[in-house]
A and B are shown apart, each in its own frame.
Chain A
């Protein structure tokens, strides 16, 4: 294990932002790069990368990494925001993950993105451990942007039950995942259940998924078990269940639960009287894939996303 400062950025009134990377395996090889927290609230994502560093250090010591395996892990590139409780870049509220591929002569977050991207260049595979933009929890999954350079079958090696294919929206074209692919890295976004809080169970799932991926590519001795057969589907297959009115959201079905068509998912209550103003039901048989995070819900907010049964 080798620890390096990848780049630094001087800041007014505070210590410089030091972005560090941890390297494992053969220094001549660029097999896999793992990017962690770029937003200040991605505590779980930083934790997953930190746990991965622990696991890789042990595997390296045991000689479990192959000769052609070279790994870089960057657990966090935005502690300047994390330490003051801000999600985006604390000075101007811009999102580093909307600034790729970055620009070295541009604005601050464009420069940070450019330096991150420069450190991540040339790897065969790239994993961005990231969080949903919308507030909510989803089942752990891998997400691939359909750029024309994508190879969804490669995601089988994660052994996670779900892989989502996403057609890029215009705003996706400035994310790390999209640009990584354009620049010849097979890129995957890895989503865990949590963001702001550490959830050790789903973090373990994520770490195991990365270790399985390495083993599947012949870069590491198998250590994490076989995993599951992944179901690859397009994002549009998820059925959104929207609230039509605002109120208190009282969930009746949990994340991951199976729901039959017509089943009650949640009630929306009048926040002042407690009267039920809306029953939210699923129109399809399927699994609860996403749940709105807050107990306050507005009209047209997505309360649930249901993944229909196959076939």
Chain B
């Protein structure tokens, strides 16, 4: 059943509406949220497929699955990453306040609706610049609780990252802080849909539903993910501006010193920088958008001591 979670009147003859589809019933509840950043579409495919699958096999679902395809409907409908008008990053507005301005009010109402779920899965899709392998990102402070759950999600990689104060205003942090376990999935790239990644996550969602006792059909086995902390991740940033042309494929193993690509100057024909891998390991992030500035992230390698 489609429900309105938040409804806010806009200035000129329209309401902002955040909707969810509630499927099934029972004491247990899994929430799948996506579309916080309006330029991230990977979760749309997952929401669509999960909707169809659960509705077609409803008798095997024991509990309630709430699917929220668009937490930021104005952003997603206008190809805008943040919240249009204010340009706020919606994922820096939580937990919000029901007495506060519009962004705070929306955040508070979402928190109210999501609080108490047995698990929340918050699907992101990198941004328009970088392609990511399917991964779960977990704050080190919540790793003990969340890593065992994340292993069911069928993602390639679990990245346990250091805590940062600025991240305390994310949806995931705010929900975890009130005892609603929330896993953040990052996969693919902004403004595109990688259906194979979506299918992979779908398998993981069924697996975790089964683990939670909410699904009684057999599920496909999930591969154990690589689990790593910040220490094993190498960052490669552009040192000069230009056009980045990769010479390796995403999601491949690279050797230390191997060429990853060049930054080229289309005006002079020169190569301004040849980029080599600083470590041996998995190329799990690779720049997709060619124009780079000094500092633009080019790649991340998962290697070294895991």
- Nearest-neighbor residue (CB-CB) of B292 within chain A: A12
B226 located at the interface, meaning its Cβ lies under 8 Å from any Cβ of chain A in the complex: no
Say whether, besides A170-B168, A271-B13, A9 and B8 are in contact (CB < 8 Å): no
Pick from B14, B106, B169: contact of A169, CB under 8 Å: B169
CB–CB A301/B101 < 8 A: yes
Q: Which of B11, B12, B82, B235 has the most CB of A within 10 A?
A: B11
The contact string, 1 if C-beta is below 8 Å from chain B, for chain A 31-54, is 000000000000000000000000
Does B1 sit at the interface, judged by CB under 8 A? no
Q: Is B250 in contact with chain A by the CB < 8 A criterion?
A: no
Q: How far is the CA of A41 from the CA of B241 in the complex (A)?
A: 24
A302 CB contacts on chain B under 8 angstroms: 101
Q: How far in angstroms is the closest Cβ of chain A from B240?
A: 6
Q: Are A111 and B8 interface neighbours, CB within 8 A?
A: no
Are B82 and A174 touching (Cβ within 8 A)? no
CA distance A37 to B95 in the complex (A): 30
Contact yes or no, B169 A111, CB < 8 A: no
Contact check, A170 vs B9: say whether CB atoms are below 8 A apart: no
CA distance A10 to B272 in the complex (A): 12
> Residue of B at shortest CB range from A174?
B166
Interface residues of A in 216-261 (CB under 8 A from B): 240, 242, 245-248
Q: Number of contacting residues on B, CB 8 A?
A: 41
Among B82, B100, B168, B294, point to the contact of A111 (Cβ < 8 A): B294
Are A108 and B101 in contact (CB-based, < 8 A)? no
- Nearest residue in A to B87 (C-beta to C-beta)? A87
Contacts of A170 in B (CB 8 A): 92, 165-169
Choice from B100, B127, B169, B291 contacting A171 with Cβ under 8 Å = B169
Give every chain B residue within 8 A of A11 (Cβ-Cβ): 241, 293
- Does more than half of chain A's interface fall in helix, strand or loop, or is it mixed? loop
Known: A271-B12, A272-B13. A134 touches B86 (CB 8 A): yes
Decide yes or no whether B220 CB sits under 8 A from chain A.
Answer: no
Interface flags, A71-93, vs B, CB<8A=1, else 0: 00000000000000001100111
Contact assessment for B85 and A135 in the assembled complex, using a CB-CB cutoff below 8 Å: yes
List B102-132 residues whose CB lies under 8 Å from chain A: 102, 105-106, 127, 129
Interface centre among B87, B99, B235 (most CB of A within 10 A): B87
* CB of A13, distance to nearest CB on chain B (Å): 8
CB contacts under 8 Å to A, within B191-217, are none
**Sample of 19 A–B contacts (CB below 8 Å):** A10-B241, A12-B291, A87-B87, A92-B127, A92-B129, A93-B81, A106-B235, A107-B295, A108-B296, A109-B295, A111-B295, A170-B92, A246-B14, A272-B12, A296-B11, A298-B10, A298-B11, A300-B106, A301-B101
Closest 5 pairs (CB-CB, A-B): A296-B11, A108-B295, A246-B9, A170-B168, A299-B9
Chain A residues packing against B (C-beta within 8 Å): 9-12, 87-88, 91-93, 98, 105-111, 133-135, 169-171, 173-174, 240, 242, 245-248, 271-272, 296-302
